[in-house]
A = this chain, B = another copy of it.
């Protein structure tokens, strides 16, 4: 169900068509959720059926049709209800930690190389999220600008701070993973 809420959350900023949403969810600077267009288009149709969003057809040129979706009152309610509900505990399932659990079965050098790749990946994520966080604090992202347009200026600071804080969380998690992996490299080196 999270994809639907992600879509609702983006559409709350402004109406978009499937292609724009696709670019958003497949974008290189990773966000908090991702999805391919093959998942997005059917989801939008289901959500329209459910009355959470409303589509309006537009024509570019003479034939190129696109459906621009806006969030409905019902969609806003659904989003707010979901955001305000305690999150159901997800089952523990972390493929990288699972892999790390069996590092003792392979050559320490190989294990170290896997850890180094993991560190590099976390660093990349951290860099992207840091940039995004800064942009939010500077109110320098398209979506945030659109969003703030419908909110009283007195709240702008608070909203930007809260959004930026989410990326601080993703950064903190990635940092914890990178630090942990570096400690793992030290453990592996001890007996090499």
Contact = CB atoms under 8 A, between A and B. Distances in A.
A65 to B, nearest CB: 29
Interface stretch (A40-48, A49-57, A96-104): A96-104
A118 interface: yes
A166 B101 contact: yes
Interface in A87-134: 87, 89-107, 110-111, 113-114, 117-118, 121, 125
Interface in A164-192: 165-166, 168-170, 172-173, 175-177, 179-181, 183-184, 187-188, 190-191
Interface in A7-40: 9, 12, 30-34
Nearest to A118: B87
Contact of A175 (B2, B33, B84, B176): B176
Contact of A33 (B93, B173, B177): B93
Given A93-B34, A95-B87, A114-B87, A165 B184 contact: yes
A92 B6 CA distance: 13
Contact of A31 (B92, B106, B111, B176): B92
Given A113-B86, A158-B191, A179-B172, A32 B165 contact: no
A163 B101 contact: yes
B162 A103 contact: yes
A185 to B, nearest CB: 11
A141 interface: no
A74 interface: no
Nearest to A82: B99
A169 B176 CA distance: 8
A91 B26 CA distance: 10
